[in-house]
Amino acid sequence: MIDLSAIGWKEGALLALVILAIYMGYALMRLATLNARRNAEAPAPAPVVPPSPLPEVPPPDIEAELDTLFDARLAPLMQALETRLDLIEDRLDGVSRRLETVNQLPPVAPQYSEALSLAARGLSAEDIAEQCDMSVGEAELVRTLAQSRGLGDGA
């Protein structure tokens, strides 16, 4: 009996390659026989009959027809795109106006920036004073500043 433990990885790889080559040869032989059967069963091609001469018709203006088709199909899409572009331009104008307004405002001291954002959210002067460790008078001043800048709700 053959001792299989004596076979190394090189011999095992060689054996696997031989088995794979035999299988590939078998598969190619099967494909060749199937192809031969398919060719034998295929009907003979019909003889080619030359086309009868047609009377000459002047060629239509294809470019004009394509232009009308494109115009008919693309006009609604172009109109929708133009409408959307106008809307985007309006939004961009609004954003640029707001940015100009913000750039024209005097800078806020860093210690009051949080208080200003709380005032913009509509918190009361007492709540702002409590959260930012400042006096109620300072918080009321910050609320008034926010309202003058159009940031607060005016309550």
| Coil vs helix vs strand at 36 | helix
- pLDDT value of position 91: 92
pLDDT score for 44: 63
- In this predicted structure, the answer to whether residue 137 has a pLDDT above a threshold of 90 is yes
Q: Is 27 or 110 the better-scoring residue by pLDDT?
A: 27
Distances (CA, A) of 24 to 20, 27, 38, 108: 6, 5, 21, 80
Average pLDDT over residues 65-89: 87
> Looking at this protein, which amino acid is placed at residue 116?
L
**CA–CA distance, 145 with 105 (Å, rounded to integer):** 11
Region at 103 (left for phi over 0; alpha for psi -120 to 50; beta for the rest): alpha
Distances (CA, A) of 76 to 23, 67, 79, 84: 61, 15, 5, 12
pLDDT band at 2 (very low <50, low <70, confident <90, very high): low
Least confident residue range of 11-20, 54-63, 92-101: 54-63
Whether the predicted model's global pTM rises above the 0.85 cut: no
